[in-house]
Structure formats: structure tokens, C-alpha cells
């Protein structure tokens, strides 16, 4: 139940909402485009069209050439379930109590009055909804939901691609299998190494010999191997996306469909996913218009590269606007393109809270140059135990071992220290975020620190950030057992008998 004034205000406002949106009758001739979301799993701006070397992404590169590519887009969480909960609702996960990883899966939690899943709003005005897994016998999607709300009723009408042609307009979502570890047999604890999904067939464009991993990792064979696997998983997902786009065209749906590609959070790497550094939050966003139902303005022409700050939160309102729906009063999401676009954001906010058994609270705010992070959990850091990351991300135990042997120096050694309370990075000058400017005496840095610090404080209050409310111990305890059974516990963290 919402306790804060901000939440009481939200609930009051939403309780009076009707379906805001003026849309032609569902039985009338189609007047709005189909909308296809292609949602990547766990990668950042590491495509060819973003300048990444040692990847092959011809399908996404071509999509960018015929659409708009955004360079400053950020998820609201560095892990999937809170991020997905946010962009499926158009509300920050910290506002709706969906901020802790895989929460509310087996309780009676309901969303606050008036806060509804995106697909329900689209269905209200005649859209057919789909969460696609296969094209015939070819797997292209996981059907993933992984939302921190489960009691809102059916979210999609179908999982079948073949249903789309006869049900227009449609909203279809395809959740890509990459980049991900192959963990869902729940036998990871038994394996010496957990392989990546699809690694046996991914193009071997990147190799340990030709890659240059980020400088916050040590120069080591394991680091180069895992970085190459990550890049090759991106090349692999581009192949799957090519099949989706080819089928769209073969079925005569291409001209009727807005295609929106983005990733749910940042890189599946040791310092990426789970951590609200730039690498865990910055995501690719590419949008291509539907020729028969043009939505974009003349300033949003094919091949455009846009550097405005956007949040994945804004996918909700933007998708509604494409469908001819006015976002309801009180929705935190904003429209970021098209004739009804809202003014550009100055800031993109993000939050990290409990992930699996690991209770760490951090908050983040980006503008178009600086990134400010606040750590609310003293002593927490990269080394903090998370069994999934200890088992699957081989770089993490490697760095722990090298540190014990006195073989780490520079940024890799600094990464192994507890996080300070505040971090400030100039992501234009320092894209790897290895130089913390929070204590810099340079006036420009101090001005940025004060400004972003105030912006974060304001956002936390105005959005009713619930992260300061601890989960009960009996809610957290089962996750420790689940992660132990699933991934095991490293020897250094095992409790003595």
C-alpha cells in the first residue's frame, strides 16, 4: 500500500482516469500503424551503426539507415524485471513498488488504481497484442515477461506470428534470446562454465585476439574470451532480427508497421548488468516509420541520429502516441518523437535495488554529458556477493583471484574497492567511467555535481521513490536459497559448518 504523500496523490489522480485516448473504432478501416517492438536482452550501444568494432549487425544497421538512431537512451534499471516493469507501465519502478528484482511473483500485489499495462491500453482501442516466440519452427523470441506484477490479467492475445496478418492493427513484441547465459535449466551450479545462449552458432567475428575489452578489466585471456562472446552474441541477435524483418516484408506488413528496436538494459558483462554505471544503463534505440501510416515529422527523416536524452520509461507514452492514444494524466512517461513530442528531457534517472539475494540500493542520473551515481549502501561494491554473477561472469572471480595475488593495478584494482557514496563521470571525455570527478576541484565538475545531486534529490521526492522502504527479511530469505540451489556459493562466501 502506498504510504507517501506522492503515492497517495498518484492513486487519487489515477482513480479518476478513464481511457484517455481518442481512437477510431476497432471495427473501422485501419487508420493507425502496426507497432513492432524488438527488445534486445542485455546489451548497450555495441552495434556496428554505433561504431562498435568486431561485430556484424547489417540488419540493425540498415534499420538505422531507414529510421532514427538514438545515442543517449537509458534504461531505468540495470536489470531486466524492474526495467521491463517500468516501460510496460509508463511509470518508474520505484513509484509502483516494482523496483526489487523478481518481486511480487507469489503475493496478492496489485498495481495502484489507474496504472495499467501498455497492452491493455492498446487493446482498449482495437489493437491485437502478441508476444512472439517463433516464425514457424524458427525461434526468434523467448516470450519473456519477467514483470514484477502478475495479477493484472492476460497481457497478450497470442504468441503466434501467423495471427498478425489477419489482426491489424497489432502491437507485437519479440524478446530476443541474446545476450544471455544459458541458465534456465537451473543446473548452472553443476557446470564448470555456463555457456552463452547461441554461442555454438554465433558468428565468430570477435575473437580473443582481435578485441580490446574496457580498461576497467585486467588484460587476461578470460577477459578477452568473455568480451568476444558478448560481441558475438550481438552479431547473433542481428541474424534473428533479420529473419523477423524479412518475414514482416514477406507477409506484406512492412509498409504498415512501425519498428522499434531497443534493449531492456545494458551489457551482459561483469561491470555492466546489475550496476548503474553507464555500461549497465545506456541502451540502443532505433525507430523506423511505417510508410503507409507516417508518424514522424520532417525533422525525423530516415538516417537521422538524435542525441536527445531519453529514458526507456518513454517507450510507453511514445507507443501510445503512435497508436493515436493520448497518454493519461499522471503517467510519468513522455512522448519523445512525432508531432506530439514532449519537450526533451534534461535528465534520465535510474535505480538499482535488490537483485536476487543481493540488497544494494543505488541511484543514478544522466544528462547529455555527465553521469552522477549515489550509493546508499556503505561497503557495497563490485565484489559484493551475487551468486549468479559469481558463477556465470568468469571475469568476477578472476579479478578476485588476481587481487589476492597482488596482480591488479589501476582501474581494475579501483573497481575492486567499495563504492564511494558519490560518483560523477564525464561520459564524453571518459566513456568507460574510470575517473570519479566527485571530489574534483574543477569548477565545471563541481557545478555538475551540485546540479545533478539536486536533480536526483528532486526526482526521488517527486516520484515517490520507495527504495528506502526495506523488504521484510522473510521476503528476501528465499532468494538466498534459490540462488544457492541454482548457482551454488563460492568457497570464499560459504558459511562454516
Decide the pairing of beta strands 170-175 and 34-40. parallel
pLDDT score at 20: 41
pLDDT score at 243: 98
**How confident is the model over 321-338, as a mean pLDDT?**
97
Neighbours of 208 (CB within 10 A): 16
Burial of 478 (0-12, 13-18, 19+ CB in 10 A): exposed
30: confidence class by pLDDT, cuts 50, 70, 90: confident
497: confidence class by pLDDT, cuts 50, 70, 90: low
Read off φ and ψ for residue 395, nearest 5 degrees. -65, -30
pLDDT digits (tens, 9 = 90+) for 102-137: 999 999 999 999 999 999 999 999 999 999 999 999
Nearest residue to 261 via CA among 74, 68, 54: 68
**How confident is the model over 67-89, as a mean pLDDT?**
98
Specify the range with the lowest mean pLDDT, choosing from 8-12, 367-371, 436-440, 469-473: 8-12
pLDDT digits (tens, 9 = 90+) for 262-305: 999 999 999 999 999 999 999 999 999 999 999 999 889 999 99
Q: At what angle do helices 314-322 and 80-89 cross, to 10 degrees?
A: 40
pLDDT score at 27: 41
pLDDT score at 495: 73
pTM: 0.94
Taking the C-alpha atoms of residue 100 and residue 456, their distance in angstroms, rounded to an integer, is 19
- SS3 for 364? strand
pLDDT digits (tens, 9 = 90+) for 210-256: 999 999 999 999 999 999 999 999 999 999 999 999 999 999 999 99
Q: At what angle do helices 58-65 and 221-250 cross, to 10 degrees?
A: 60
The CATH number for 31-493, chosen from 3.40.50.150, 3.40.50.720, 3.40.720.10, 3.40.50.450, is 3.40.720.10
All structural domains of the chain with their residue ranges? 31-493
Amino acid at each position: 500500500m502506498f504510504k507517501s504523500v506522492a503515492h497517495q496523490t498518484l492513486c487519487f489522480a489515477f482513480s479518476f482516469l478513464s481511457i484517455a485516448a481518442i481512437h477510431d473504432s476497432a471495427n473501422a478501416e485501419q487508420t493507425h500503424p502496426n507497432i513492432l517492438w524488438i527488445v534486445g536482452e542485455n546489451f548497450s550501444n555495441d552495434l556496428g551503426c554505433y561504431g562498435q568494432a568486431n561485430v556484424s549487425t547489417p540488419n540493425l544497421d540498415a534499420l538505422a539507415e531507414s529510421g532514427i538512431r538514438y545515442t543517449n537512451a537509458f534504461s531505468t534499471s540495470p536489470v531486466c524485471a524492474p526495467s521491463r516493469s517500468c516501460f510496460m507501465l509508463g511509470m518508474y519502478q520505484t513509484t509502483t513498488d516494482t523496483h526489487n528484482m523478481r518481486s511480487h511473483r507469489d503475493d496478492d500485489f496489485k498495481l495502484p488504481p489507474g496504472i495499467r499495462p501498455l497492452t491493455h491500453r492498446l487493446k482498449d482501442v482495437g489493437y491485437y497484442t502478441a508476444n512472439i516466440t517463433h516464425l514457424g519452427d524458427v525461434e526468434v523470441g523467448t516470450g519473456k515477461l519477467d514483470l514484477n506484477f502478475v495479477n493484472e490479467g492476460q497481457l497478450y492475445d497470442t504468441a503466434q506470428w501467423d495471427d498478425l496478418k489477419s489482426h491489424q492493427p497489432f502491437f507485437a513484441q519479440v524478446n530476443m534470446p541474446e545476450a544471455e547465459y544459458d541458465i534456465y535449466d537451473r543446473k548452472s551450479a553443476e557446470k564448470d562454465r555456463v555457456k552463452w545462449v547461441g554461442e555454438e552458432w554465433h558468428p565468430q567475428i570477435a575473437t580473443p585476439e582481435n578485441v580490446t575489452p574496457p580498461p576497467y578489466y585486467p588484460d587476461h585471456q578470460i577477459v578477452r574470451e568473455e568480451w568476444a562472446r558478448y560481441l558475438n552474441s550481438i552479431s547473433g541477435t542481428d541474424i534473428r532480427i533479420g529473419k523477423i524483418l524479412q518475414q514482416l516484408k514477406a507477409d506484406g506488413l512492412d509498409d504498415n508497421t512501425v519498428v522499434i528496436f531497443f534493449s531492456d538494459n545494458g551489457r551482459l558483462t561483469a561491470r555492466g548488468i546489475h550496476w548503474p554505471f553507464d555500461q549497465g544503463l545506456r541502451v540502443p534505440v532505433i525507430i523506423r516509420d511505417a510508410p503507409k501510416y507516417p508518424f514522424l515529422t520532417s525533422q525525423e527523416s530516415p538516417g537521422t541520429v538524435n542525441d536527445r536524452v531519453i529514458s526507456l520509461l518513454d517507450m510507453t507514452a511514445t507507443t501510445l502516441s503512435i497508436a493515436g492514444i493520448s497518454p493519461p494524466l499522471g503517467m510519468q512517461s513522455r512522448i519523445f518523437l512525432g508531432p506530439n513530442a514532449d519537450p526533451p528531457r534534461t535528465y534520465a534517472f535510474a535505480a538499482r535495488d535488490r537483485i536476487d539475494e543481493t540488497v544494494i540500493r543505488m541511484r543514478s542520473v544522466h544528462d547529455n554529458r555527465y553521469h552522477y551515481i549515489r550509493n546508499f549502501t556503505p561497503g557495497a561494491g563490485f565484489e559484493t556477493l551475487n551468486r549468479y554473477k559469481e558463477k556465470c561472469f568468469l571475469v568476477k572471480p578472476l579479478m578476485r583471484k588476481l587481487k589476492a595475488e597482488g596482480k591488479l593495478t589501476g582501474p581494475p584494482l579501483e573497481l575492486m574497492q567499495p563504492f564511494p557514496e558519490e560518483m560523477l563521470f564525464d561520459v564524453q571525455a571518459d566513456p568507460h567511467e574510470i575517473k570519479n570527478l566527485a571530489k574534483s576541484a574543477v569548477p565545471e565538475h563541481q557545478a555538475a555535481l551540485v546540479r545533478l545531486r539536486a536533480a536526483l534529490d528532486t526526482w526521488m521526492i517527486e516520484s515517490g521513490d520507495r527504495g528506502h522502504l526495506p523488504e521484510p527479511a522473510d521476503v528476501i530469505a528465499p532468494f538466498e536459497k534459490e540462488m544457492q540451489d541454482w548457482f551454488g556459493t563460492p568457497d570464499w562466501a560459504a558459511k562454516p559448518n
